[in-house]
Amino acid sequence: MEFKISKELITQIENLIQQNNIVDLESILHDIHFADIAEIMNDLDTSEAIYIFNLLDSEITAEILLELDEEVRETILSTLSAKEIAEELDELDTDDAADIIAELPQSKKAQVISELEDVEHAKDIVDLLRYDENTAGGIMAKELVRVNENWTVLTCVKEMRLQAENVTRVHSIYVVDDEDRLKGRLSLKDLLTTSTKTQISDIYIKKVDYVRVATKDVEVARIMQKYDLEAIPVVDELDRLVGRITIDDIIDIIKEEADKDYQLAAGISQDVEADDSILELTKARLPWLVLALFGGFISVKVLGIFEPMMESHRMLLFFTPLIAAMAGNVGVQSSAIVVQGLANNSITGSLWNRLLKELSLSLLNGSILAGILILGSHFLLGYEFIIGITVSIALLSVIVIASLIGTFIPIVLDKYGVDPALATGPFITTSNDIIGIIIYFTIAKLVLGI
């Protein structure tokens, strides 16, 4: 059951810190999961968060560091010496330790690494730091269980006991040759039910999914999602086993990608959070707002071109917001579906087939909406049928064009390596608004003979 952090609990902890009541504070925190303690610390003042951090043992504070907000973690790390940070990192897996070191100032990184007691642990961390953080090499951990194909089952079990001491959770047993090249994986059931004299080469499973160190993290996430993997091995350019990636790291990547796509769709061009400074939030939001403003200028200019028409048929102006809104909504719907399909790698077939399908769908939806508009404009708003028919033809045309644009743009952006999530934001909305208004008044001019 999820632990609920209440305002009362936060207030109680703040009071205990002010009173320097260590006994009661330790009693409260003793049974709380480290992730919940981190959440509590994120809600406290910096000095109070540091107080709690210094109060707890390094076994739990190391895990807490990983869950803290970046700013809080940075502040706490700045209060620790290189030796103290090293003591925290000694408690963590190599991938988590490397992530924390990567956040440190350049001058402090070497100091912390030199203070690590476990030389092998330090070497593994240094090895991970050379990889790009957005690749398999950048998110993998060095801790894993590997066995040699030439070992017997008895030797394998003995070696596994030694290796498992450094592995928090054994997801898989990987089989390598004398050159450390990945050969396959070993079933625990086969290991337990086979004679101790049997060679591993006779029982291991040759089929194993893997990724290379240079594989992008989002591609790793897609592969693990597709094949329902809890962990996946990572190999280098020579097919040597160098690490593994576990599902907890992939969940973080999926969340980060979802957050980024959501922000792009909302017209936020940088990765920001609600607690960031006003300057950072402005820099993230302003570019797309400026684009939308210029799009508004163009819309005003277009309306000015059709001003004589609106003077003779004023009721046409009243339907302008409806046309613009429908154009934007339809475009966003279409692009959202395509972007989701691109992200899940579920879009198949040619671009023309996709556009043909979208054309059929938009014609069906547009015809239904156009019929409703004809009836509504006459019986609810009291306009002549010719006005309803004019606006309905324009609406159908706008829906078709907007849906095709919403489908076409993300696919083209993806083809040229641009994040297609851009297409679901103000870009699509603004462009479809302008195109919708042009189509609307052009059709009105033709139908009404103005």
Q: What topology is assigned to 145-256 in CATH?
A: CBS-domain (3.10.580)
Annotate 112-150 with DSSP letters as a single string.
HHHH-S-HHHHHHHHHHHTS-TTBHHHH-BS--EEEETT
Q: What is the pLDDT of residue 350?
A: 73
Q: What is the pLDDT of residue 14?
A: 93
What distance in Å separates the CA atoms of residue 210 and residue 184, rounded to the nearest whole number? 10
Tokens of 302: 């277009």
Q: What is the pLDDT of residue 70?
A: 87
Q: What is the pLDDT of residue 373?
A: 93
Closest CA to 319 of 241, 398, 243, 419: 398
CATH of 278-448, picked from 2.40.30.10, 3.90.1150.10, 1.20.120.80, 1.10.357.20, is: 1.10.357.20
- Sort strands 211-212 and 231-235 into parallel, antiparallel or unpaired: parallel
Q: What is the pLDDT of residue 274?
A: 60
CB distance 213 to 137 below 8 Å: yes
Residues 296-299: contacts with CB under 8 Å, at least 24 apart: 296/430, 298/434, 299/324, 299/433, 299/434, 299/437
pTM for this model (two decimals) = 0.69
Q: What is the pLDDT of residue 285?
A: 72
Q: What is the pLDDT of residue 329?
A: 84
Q: What is the pLDDT of residue 189?
A: 85
∠194-196-200 over CA atoms, to 5°?
A: 70
Among positive and negative, which fits the CA dihedral 442, 443, 449, 450?
A: negative
Q: Per-block average pLDDT, block size 10, for the chain (450 residues)?
A: 80 94 91 92 93 90 92 92 93 92 90 92 93 94 93 92 79 92 92 90 93 94 90 96 92 79 60 68 75 82 82 82 86 80 70 83 93 90 87 92 87 78 69 87 83
What distance in Å separates the CA atoms of residue 305 and residue 25, rounded to the nearest whole number? 71
The domain ranges of the chain are 7-134, 145-256, 278-448
Q: 262 Cβ partners below 8 Å, 6+ apart? A: none
C-alpha to C-alpha distances, 253 to 17, 46, 112, 151, 340, nearest whole angstrom: 35, 27, 27, 37, 16
> May I ask the CATH class of domain 7-134?
mainly alpha
What distance in Å separates the CA atoms of residue 145 and residue 153, rounded to the nearest whole number? 14
